[in-house]
Amino acid sequence: MCTNIATNVLLTGSARMATGWTKIGEARMSFDHATHIWVDHALRINFVDLSDESASHVAVELDLVSGRALLRGLAEVLDAAEATDLG
């Protein structure tokens, strides 16, 4: 099914591609038809350089379980960082 489940988050960061590092300004997230991994639907995250969308972006596609695992891992790391006042 076409879910239309999607959201965008502005962010400040960099991502590494085969050609080197690039700035990223937005994460575009959706849970919709998978393109590459062998599941019907997937969490898709595309980190985009808003100043050069067509050339600079890094995309990942994860199944639902992996997306949840990533979310837990991110929360664990960020909670630890905030707890030590490193943010």
Partner 1 sequence: MAWNSFNTAGSDGMTASVITIPGANGDQIHAYTARPEGKGPFPGVVLVHHMPGWDEIYREFTRRFAQHGYNAVCPDLYCRLGHGRPDEVTEKMRAAGGIADQQVVDDCVAAATFLKALPTSSGKVGIIGTCSGGRHAMVVGSKSKEFSAIGDLWGGGVVMQTSDLNPKRPVAPIDMTKDVNAPVLGIFGNDDKSPTPEQVNQHEAELKKHGKTYEFHRYDGAGHGFFYYHRPAYRAEAATDGWEKVFAFFAKHLS
Kindly list the residues in this chain that would bind partner 1 in the complex (CB under 8 A).
1-4, 6, 8, 28, 30, 32-35, 38-40, 44, 46, 53-54, 57, 59
Give whole-number Cα distances, 4 to 18, 29, 71, 75, 83, in Å: 30, 11, 21, 25, 36
Q: How many CB atoms lie within 10 A of CB 22?
A: 19
Closer CB to partner 1, 27 or 70, in the complex:
27
Shortest approach of partner 1 to residue 38 CB, angstroms?
Answer: 6
Shortest approach of partner 1 to residue 49 CB, angstroms?
Answer: 13
Closer CB to partner 1, 55 or 81, in the complex:
55
